[in-house]
Chain A
Amino acid sequence: QQQVKQSPQSLIVQKGGISIINCAYENTAFDYFPWYQQFPGKGPALLIAIRPDVSEKKEGRFTISFNKSAKQFSLHIMDSQPGDSATYFCAASTETSYDKVIFGPGTSLSVIP
């Protein structure tokens, strides 16, 4: 029940296209959903995060869509660029276990010219 599922495992998108990564969870106590971006040889960096009281959050080319009833959330990268090529992790945590973030298994994104 603590698991966060993520798909696809890998994704290849043409430059200018839309990258979509999906995540699903079981624990309805989760109430904070961040996305992290990790480049090779670097630590993950917080990209964008959402709470379940909103259905969508947009920051620049990155948008999180959240479906509370389906217990699913997704990351959309508009106008994908080669510099977006990285591994993306969705994650979730609860108010009482805020220091115990559950990470999804990750998606390796390659944006080709």
Chain B
Amino acid sequence: DTEVTQTPKHLVMGMTNKKSLKCEQHMGHRAMYWYKQKAKKPPELMFVYSYEKLSINESVPSRFSPECPNSSLLNLHLHALQPEDSALYLCASSQPGQGAGYTFGSGTRLTVV
């Protein structure tokens, strides 16, 4: 079982919907990440939270809005998405600092219709 839990596992939403993806980790990691992955491609970094503060925003459109309520939780709020936003959304966590590998969740498979 993965130590980073993501919900839901699958999500289908219309372009006018508002939905949220959730991520939880209990490893005491203080850095958490959102990645987007298209089929047969590597993960693309979206956001990084370090010690609950947003440290990296990779010029992601504002229809994606991250939130870090506490050191264990990470949310990604979705609004007015486009069909091209359909992808696997991965949450990851690590200890801040060099040499710390990531622990990824199993992802949320998002389909925008």
B98 touches A98 (CB 8 A): yes
Chain B residues closer than 8 Å to A46, beta-carbon distance = 101-103
Contacts A89-B42, A104-B42, A105-B42; A43 near B105 (Cβ below 8 A): yes
A-B interface contact total, Cβ < 8 Å? 64
The smallest beta-carbon distance between B94 and chain A, in angstroms, is 8
B43 touches A103 (CB 8 A): yes
The smallest beta-carbon distance between A10 and chain B, in angstroms, is 10
Number of interface residues of B (CB under 8 A): 29
In whole angstroms, what is the CA distance A104 to B105 when docked? Answer: 20
Chain B residues closer than 8 Å to A49, beta-carbon distance = 99, 101
Chain A residues closer than 8 Å to B55, beta-carbon distance = 99
Chain A residues closer than 8 Å to B41, beta-carbon distance = 105-106
A41 touches B106 (CB 8 A): yes
The smallest beta-carbon distance between A29 and chain B, in angstroms, is 11
B98 touches A100 (CB 8 A): no
A51 touches B56 (CB 8 A): no
Number of interface residues of A (CB under 8 A): 26
Tell me which residues from 13 to 43 in chain A have a Cβ below 8 Å from any Cβ of chain B: 31-32, 34, 36, 41-43
Chain B residues closer than 8 Å to A99, beta-carbon distance = 31, 33, 48, 50, 55-56, 94, 96
A45 touches B97 (CB 8 A): no
The smallest beta-carbon distance between B50 and chain A, in angstroms, is 7
B40 touches A106 (CB 8 A): yes
The smallest beta-carbon distance between B8 and chain A, in angstroms, is 14
In whole angstroms, what is the CA distance A51 to B31 when docked? Answer: 21
B96 touches A98 (CB 8 A): yes
The smallest beta-carbon distance between A88 and chain B, in angstroms, is 11
Contacts A34-B101, A98-B96; A44 near B43 (Cβ below 8 A): yes
| 9 extra interface residue pairs, beta carbon distance < 8 Å, beyond A41-B109, A49-B101, A105-B41 | A36-B102, A43-B90, A46-B103, A51-B99, A89-B43, A98-B100, A99-B94, A100-B45, A108-B40
Closest 9 CB pairs of A and B: A43-B104, A103-B42, A46-B101, A98-B98, A95-B98, A99-B48, A43-B90, A44-B104, A43-B107
